[in-house]
Amino acid sequence: MVKNTEINLSTLSRDLKKSPSDAVVIGVGQGTDGPVLLDNPLAAKSAEALTDSLKSLGVTGAADQIVRLPGLPETGAGILVLAGVGKVPSGTAPTGEALRRAAGSAVRQLAGLGTVALAFPTASVADVAAVAEGAALGAYSFTEFRSAKDGLKDPVSKAIVFTDVADQKELDAALKRAALIGRAVNATRSLVNTPPSHLYPETFAEAAKDLAKGLPVKVTVWDENRLEKEGFGGIMGVGKGSSRQPRLVKVEYSPARATAKIALVGKGITFDTGGISIKPALGMGDMKSDMAGAAVVLNTVLALAGLGLPVKATAWLCIAENMPSGAASRPADVLTMFGGKTVEVLNTDAEGRLVMADGIVAASREFPDAIIDVATLTGAQLIALGNRTAGIMGSEVVTTALKAAADRAGELVWPMPLPEELRPSLDSQVADLANIGERHGGMMTAAVFLQEFVGKDKDGVQIPWAHIDIAGPSFNNGSPYGYTHKQGTGCTVRTLVAYVEDILAAA
């Protein structure tokens, strides 16, 4: 169902002409006194001539700027591209994220070409990995629902990273990881971009099976009958108003010598009308992206399996379509959640926390070392942190590690508190708790609700847990930037993979 976009990645250490390309990309930074041509494989005379011409060519070095010039004979390419890397203070090298964004931006904007050589300064394997990953993220398109492809450009199909460290033995693994990360993020983007006429609970479950083919994972699907029988009241309560009934999908990666065990829970509302508490019409079409959390956790586990990491990782995809009908939940209904807690539904548009609660309880029963849930949960996240920064809340041991992993991966997250005074606002007169509470700080109130469903470990201590609210950064309604395209972004897949790598390294 998901037609993924992939790029062939390789490296080159010497003469550019030995590996012909359609374009060679070199970096330009924003220095204190103007644009600065970064280290590159051009001959000294060519580099000097370019340096003298940067200002007259209008080159600033700003991020996302690319300037195309006729190719030089020494490069073996018909086009020479000057790509902005952003601010590069004097005497310093670009950061890994600056390289990742510059490579991704160049590859994204050079769609229509077949092979691109990326000659950014790469002093280490980590720098090469950043450039390769940026290329993999930039080489994406979503055209499945176009009846005609006239005027559309295919993404770059091959990227060659020029580097002086091409002989390092770690390089093959770094390129493999970059390709896998690109595949996982792009698959997440494509799921988010798929219209709700085609992606609904049943087909989402089928897509999970398709994406898992060839990987050492087990996929289990709960249909509406099993969900009803086993008491998944949150998922059924949200999904019963639609003719397309809900699903719970469990994706397990269980290598024989796992040294850690994590559970990932994802919100999978394939379309959110708000239910009986219906949303305004303006912007409702964006609610096809309300399943981004489930797409993230699915592709994270598949990436971990592809990398062969020694971690038992389980994704729980809590999938429903929130529609108003005669069968839909009403405000004032009481749902009995998986595990027995009761929730008074005061607003049917606060549905994500209901399906997630069931998933968190199910995940808790397997006693993982940590539970991380990912959801496009609240509009309050955008008010607090904007369109590009996700909020993370929960156990400090998990949120601290997630922030460090996000920084390493180049993604924007910010830890937020869970104030004790928010919990009483979730009290209900008729049930164990209500599904909405204090309006101010609504992102945190939603997390406080989810915390009520996190189970205890075998010693009776609450399992370490974190909640990631990606309501803003999961969907880009603005212009493309860096390696980020319009609509689905695939955010936090890279953070979660980095988090697992970090905990394995620490162990």
Summarize pLDDT for 46-102 with one digit per residue, the tens. 999 999 999 999 999 999 999 999 999 889 899 999 999 999 987 789 999 999 999
**pLDDT tens sequence across 390-400:** 999 999 999 99
pLDDT band per the 50, 70, 90 thresholds, residue 224 = very high
Q: Residue range 148-173: average pLDDT?
A: 91
349 is in an annotated binding site: yes
Which listed residue (176, 279, 341, 423) is catalytic?
279
pLDDT digits (tens, 9 = 90+) for 181-193: 999 999 999 999 9
Q: Torsion over CA of 102, 478, 148 and 134, rounded to 10 degrees?
A: 20
The yes-or-no verdict on residue 14 having pLDDT over 80 is no
Residue extents of the structural domains in the chain:
8-165, 183-506
Q: What is the pLDDT of residue 56?
A: 94
User: Please, are residues 399 and 418 in contact by the beta-carbon 8 Å criterion?
Assistant: no
Sequence letter at residue 482: G
Homologous superfamily assigned to 8-165: Leucine Aminopeptidase, subunit E, domain 1 (3.40.220.10)
Is the C-alpha dihedral spanning 11, 16, 17, 21 positive or negative?
A: positive
Query: Is 502 marked as binding a ligand?
Result: no
309-361 confidence digits (pLDDT tens): 999 999 999 999 999 999 999 999 999 999 999 999 999 999 999 999 999 99
The pLDDT value recorded for residue 507 is 85
Summarize the confidence of residues 405-432 as an average pLDDT: 97
Give the C-alpha separation, 176 to 11, whole Å. Answer: 12
Our answer to whether residue 353 is catalytic in this structure is: yes
39 marked as binding residue = no
User: Among the options 183, 247, 288, 353, which is catalytic?
Assistant: 353
Radius of gyration of the chain (CA): 24
**Residue 290 assigned ligand-binding role:** yes
Average pLDDT over residues 108-131: 97
Binding residue per annotation — 252? no
Which long-range contacts does 398-407 make (Cβ < 8 Å, 24+ apart)?
A: 398/370, 398/372, 398/464, 398/465, 398/466, 399/466, 401/499, 401/502, 401/503, 402/372, 402/466, 402/468, 402/495, 402/499, 404/502, 405/495, 405/496, 405/498, 405/499, 405/501, 405/502, 406/492, 406/495, 406/498
Range 492-504 average pLDDT: 98
Is the pLDDT confidence value at 32 over 90? Answer: no
The predicted model scores a pTM of 0.97
Q: What is the mean pLDDT of the chain?
A: 96
CB burial of residue 3 (10 Å; 0-12, 13-18, 19+): exposed
Q: Domain 183-506's class?
A: alpha beta
* Spatial distance between the Cα atoms of 498 and 500, rounded to a whole number of angstroms: 5
